[in-house]
Structure 1
Amino acid sequence: MIYIFRIIKIALVHKERLILAYLCTAGAVASYVVLPMIFGNVIDKVVDNLVSDSSDYGYIYISAGIILGLSVIRGISSFFQTYMAETLSQDVSYDLRNQFYDHIQYQGFDFHDRYHTGNLMSRAITDIENIRMFINMGLVRSAYFVSLFIIVAIILVNLNWQLGLIGATFMPVVAIYTAKIRLKMRSLYLIVQEKMADLSIVMNENFSGIRVVKAFGAQNYEENKFDSKSLDVAKVFVRAEQLRSSSLSFMLFTFLIAISLVLFFGGRLAIQGDLTPGELAQFVFYLQILAMP
C-alpha cells in the first residue's frame, strides 16, 4: 500500500492534468446517467400518444435533440478524460525513467556486480510501464467506475426499490468474484515480471557476448535457453488471460440473469400498472451501463 501512495504522490506533481481528468470524468458520468431517463420518458410519451391517439411529436423532437447533445458532451468528456489520463501517466513514467537513470549513474561498481543489466532493463521498461497503467486505469478510471456504480444504484432504488434491489444484487457478487480473480492475476503478473527479468538477462548476455557464443559454437544452446525462458513467460501470460476471460464471462452471465429477473418482475409490475414501460426500459438501460460502463 505504501508504494501506491508513493505513486500517487508522484502523480500529484502534475495535479493540473489530474484535476482536468477528474472534471472530464464528472462530465462523462453526468451525461451518461441522464440518457436512460430521457429514453424512458420518450417511451412513456409514445405510449401515451398511442393510448390517446395523439400526434404530438414536439416532445420527441426535443428529446432527440437533448440526447444528441448529451451524446456529444459525453463523447468530448470521454475523449479528454482518456487524453488527460494518458498524458498524466506518460508524464509520470517519463519522470520515473529519468529518476531511475540518474540513480543508476551514481551507483558504484559493486552495485552493478550485484544486479544484472537485464534486471535493470526490466525495471526501466516493464515495471515502469505497469506503474503507467496504474495511473491511467487505476488512479483516473477507477473514479469513473466507482461514481457510476454508486449513482446508478441510487437511481435504480429510487425508481422502484424492489426492482432496484434485484438489479443491484449482481454488483456485489461480481465485485467479490472479480476481486478474487484480480488477486490471483496479481500474483501471476508478479511471476511474469520476474520471468521477464530472467528473459532480459539472457537476451542481454547474448547481445553483449555474441562473439564468445559464436567462438564456442553455442548458438543452439543459447537459442534453446532463450526459447525456454520465453515459453515460461508465455505460459504464465496464458494462465492470467484465462482468469481474465473467466471473470468477463461470469460478469456477463450474472448481468443476463439480472436482466431476466428485472424483465420478469418488472413486466408483471408494468402489466399491473405499478410501473410504466419507460421506467422498465430505464432499468434495462441502467443495468446495461453497469455491465458495460
Structure 2
Amino acid sequence: MSELKTLYGWMEKYKFKFIRSLFNTIAAIILTTIVPLVTSTVIDYVLKTDIYSENTVTKSQSTIISKIILSFDTSKDQLLAAGIFIIILTLLAARANYLKGKLSAQVAEGTAKSIKDKIYDHVQRLSFSYHNKVETGDLLQRCSTDIETIRQFTQVQILEIFYAVSVFIVVFVIMLMLNPFFALVGVILIPILIVYSYVFFQKVKKAYLIKDEAEATLSTSLQETLTGVRVVKAYANQEYEIKKFAEKNANFKAAHFKEVMVSAKFWATSDFICISQVLLVVLFGSFLSYKGSITLGMFQTFLSYEFMMIWPVRQLGRVITEAGRTIISIRRILEVFDETQEFELKDESLKQKPKILGNISFKNVSIEYSDEEPVLRNISFEVKKGQTVAIIGKTGSGKTSLMNALLRLIEYKEGSITIDGTELNTIDKTWLRSHIGVVMQEIFLYSKSIKDNIRIANRTVSDEIVYDVAKIASVHDVILDFEEGYDTSVGERGVTLSGGQKQRIGIARALINKHPILIFDDSLSAVDTETDLKIRAALTERAKEITTFIIAHRMSTVKDADLIIVLDEGKILQIGTHEELFNVDGLYRNFWDIQNKKEEDFINLITVGKEENIDGK
C-alpha cells in the first residue's frame, strides 16, 4: 500500500481528473448492466414466451425498466421502445467509456511527465560519489522503462481494478435482487480465483524484479559498447563484445521466460476456473428454467451478468501482474529519490556566499571515499591570489581528488580548507562552483555546434567573446579551417574532433566566464608541445589575477608554476618551486630526468626561432 500511496502522491496534480474517470467508469457499468434487463423484458413479455406460468413471468418483470417498456400499449411500440432504450444506453455507456479513457490518459501522461521531471531534477543534484557508483544503464532503465510501467498502470490497470471490483458489486447486487440463490451459484468459484490471483501476484513480483535487473544489466552493456565503439574497433574486440552481450542477453531471456511461464500457468488455471464458473451457471440455470423457477429472460440475464462479471475478475490476474511490476518499478525509482541531494541543506550557515578572490589554504586535510583507505592524507599548503599551482604525481596519487575536494565534489571530514578566510564546507556549493572554471581530464562535448559547446557555461555571451577565448585556447584558426567554422557540429561526444581539438575547446569553454579560480586537470596532455606553450603563454597574460591549478605530467608545463606540489600515495612528498625541487634528490627530479630535458630543448629551439624571426622583421 505504501507504493500505491506514493503513486497517488505523484498523481496529486491530476486527482480531480482521476476521480472524474472513476465516476465515468461507474456510469458505464450502470448503463451497461441495464441492457440485459431490457432484453429480459423483451424475451419474457413482449415476445410472450408461453412455456412459463404467468406468475413466473410477472416476477421477472418487476423492475423499473420493465415497467417503463410495458407502459406502451402495443407489442410493436414496446419493441421500438426497448430498441431505443438499448441504443440510448449503449451510446451513453460509449460516451462514458470515451471520457474514462481520455481522462485516464491525461492523468497517466501527466503523471509520467511529472515523475520524469522530478527524477531528472533529482539526479542532476545528486552527489559526485553517487554518480561514481551507479551504472548508467541501470539509471536509464529506472528513468525510462520503470516510468513507462507506471504510466501504463496509471492509464489502464488502475481503472481495470476499479472496474472489476465495481462491476462485481453492481452485478452481484442486481443478481441478488433477481434471485438470491442463483446469484450465490454465480459467484461460488470467484473466491478461489481471487486467492489464486494473490498467490500469483507474489510469484510474479519476484520474477519481474529478476527480469528487470537482468534488463538493466543488458542496457548497461549495450550503452557501454556503443559509447566505446571506437575502442572496440581499434582493438578488433568485436567478437569478445558480441560474446559478452550474448551472455547478458541469454540471462535476460531466461529471466523473461521464467516470468512468462509464471504468467502462462496463471492464465491456464484462471481460464479453467472461469469456464467452470460459467458452466455452473449454464447447468444450474438450465435446470431452474426447466423447472419453471426462472424465466428464459432471467436465465439470459444471469448468463449475461456472469460474463460481464467473471472476465473482468479473471483479468485481475493480468492487472495484478502489472501491479506487481509497478510496485517493483516504484521501489526502484524511490531508491533514486532516497539518495540525498548534495544541495539539501537546511542550515543557512552552510550556505554562505562570500566574495571569492582566490586565496586558498589547506590545513591537515584528509579525505576518503566511503569506508575505503584515505585518498588524501594530511594535506597542507597555501596559495595566494593570482598564483599558479602545479600538481604532479604518479597515477592514483590523489591529484584529481585534491581538486575534487576544492570543488566539493567530495567532502573532507578532517582538517580545514578555506577560501579567502571562509571555511569551504560552509560555502554554498552552487556559489562556489560558479567561481571556479574547470577543464576536466576527459572533455565531454555535446552533439551541438562548436560555438554552442563553448557557450555551454554562458549562453548569453557574444560571438566576439567566443572567438577571444578560442584564440587563447589556440583553437580559433583550427575552427576556421572547418567548412562551417564555428557552426560545425562536433557529433556525438565530439567524435569528429581529435583529442587535442576537444581539449582546446574545453579550455575555451572554461574561459568563457572570468572565474577567479581555474583548474586544468591534465587538460593539455593531447596537444603538442608548441601548442601547449602557446596556450600557457596566453593564459599567463590573461590570468594575472586568477589563481590557477594545473595537473600535468609534462614537466615543461609545470616548471614555471609559482608552487609545485608532488603527490605520492595521497601525501605531499615535495612542495616548492621548480628550482627548489630540481636541486634536491626526489620524485620531482626523477620525473625531470626521465623526460631527459628533450622537451625543454625543443621549446628553447622554438623560442629562439621566433625571436630570430622577430629580429629579422
TM band (smaller chain):
over 0.9
Cα deviation 1:144-164 (Å, max 9, x = unaligned): 111111111222222222211
Maintained 8 Å contact 2:18/2:104: yes
What corresponds to 1:273 in structure 2? 292
Q: Counterparts of 1:242 and 1:286 in 2: how far apart (Å)?
A: 31
Aligned residue in 2 for 1:166: 185
Aligned residue for 1:22? 22
Q: Deviations over 1:14-69 (max 9, x none)?
A: 122212211211211111111111121111124426679xx822212211111111
User: Contact 1:251–1:291 at 8 Å: present in 2 too?
Assistant: no
Quote how far apart the aligned CAs of 1:99 are: 0.9
1:151 alignment counterpart:
170
Q: Unpaired segments of 5 or more residues in structure 1?
A: none
Cross-structure match for 1:208: 227
The match for 1:126 is: 145
Q: Structure 2 unaligned segments of length 5 or more: list them.
A: 55-73, 313-617
Equivalent residues in 2 for 1:62-101 (5 A)? 62-101=81-120
Tell me which structure has the larger Cα radius of gyration.
2
What residue in structure 2 maps to residue 33 of structure 1? 33
From the superposition, tell whether residues 87 and 68 of structure 1 become closer, same or farther in structure 2 (CA, over 3 Å): same
Pick which of 199-208 and 102-111 moved more.
102-111
**Greater helix content:** 1
Preserved contact between residue 185 and residue 243 of structure 1 (Cα < 8 Å): yes
Going from structure 1 to structure 2, the CA distance change for 1:76 and 1:238 (only over 3 Å counts) comes to farther
Is the CA contact (8 Å cut-off) linking 2:211 and 2:259 kept in structure 1? no
CA distance in 2, matches of 1:72, 1:63: 14
Would you say the 8 A contact 2:274–2:311 is kept in 1? no
How far residue 205 of structure 1 moved from its aligned partner, in angstroms, is: 0.8
Amino acid at match of 1:140: L
Alpha-carbon contact 2:43-2:49 (below 8 Å) kept: no
Equivalent residue for 1:241? 260
Q: Give the share of equivalent positions with the same residue, in percent.
A: 26
Q: Deviations over 1:166-206 (max 9, x none)?
A: 11112111111122122211211111211111011101111
- State the Cα deviation string for residues 79-113 of structure 1 (Å, max 9, x = none): 22122112211111101111111111112321111
Q: For residue 10 of structure 1, what is the aligned residue in structure 2?
A: 10
Matched, 1:137 2:144: no
Letter matched to residue 33 of structure 1 = T
Distance in 1, matches of 2:161 and 2:175, equals 21
What is the root-mean-square deviation in Å for CA atoms of aligned residues? 2.0
Secondary structure class of the residue paired with 1:48: coil
Question: Separation in 2 of the partners of 1:112 and 1:20?
Answer: 41
**Greater length-normalized contact order (CA 8 Å, ≥ 6 residues apart):** 1
Amino acid across the alignment from 1:121? L
Structure 2 matches for 1:211-226, cutoff 5 A?
Answer: 211-226=230-245
Change in 2 beyond 3 A, CA 1:255/1:108 = closer
- Determine the C-alpha separation between the residues in 2 that align with 1:67 and 1:249: 35
Aligned counterpart, 1:188:
207
- 1:274 partner SS: coil
Does the 8 Å CA contact 2:207/2:255 hold for their aligned counterparts?
yes
The answer on 1:254 being equivalent to 2:273 is yes
Partner residue of 1:283? Answer: 302
Contact preservation (8 Å) 1:28, 1:73: yes
Query: Do 1:156 and 1:164's aligned partners in 2 also have CA atoms closer than 8 Å?
Result: yes
Matches of 2:46 and 2:254 in 1, distance apart? 55
Matched AA of 1:252: D
Do the aligned partners of residues 125 and 48 (structure 1) sit closer, same or farther apart at CA in structure 2, a change above 3 Å counting? same
Cα distance, 1:274–1:253 mapped onto 2, change above 3 Å:
same
Q: 1: CA distance between counterparts of 2:297 and 2:90?
A: 20
Q: Separation in 2 of the partners of 1:259 and 1:3?
A: 35
Q: Secondary structure at the match of 1:292?
A: helix
- Tell me the equivalent position of 2:42: 42
Distance 1:108 1:261 in 2: 62
Q: 1:108 to 1:258 in 2, by over 3 A?
A: closer
Name the TM-score, length of structure 1 as normaliser: 0.92
- Superposed CA deviations along residues 246-285 of structure 1, whole A, max 9, x for unmatched, are 3333333223222222222222222222211111111100
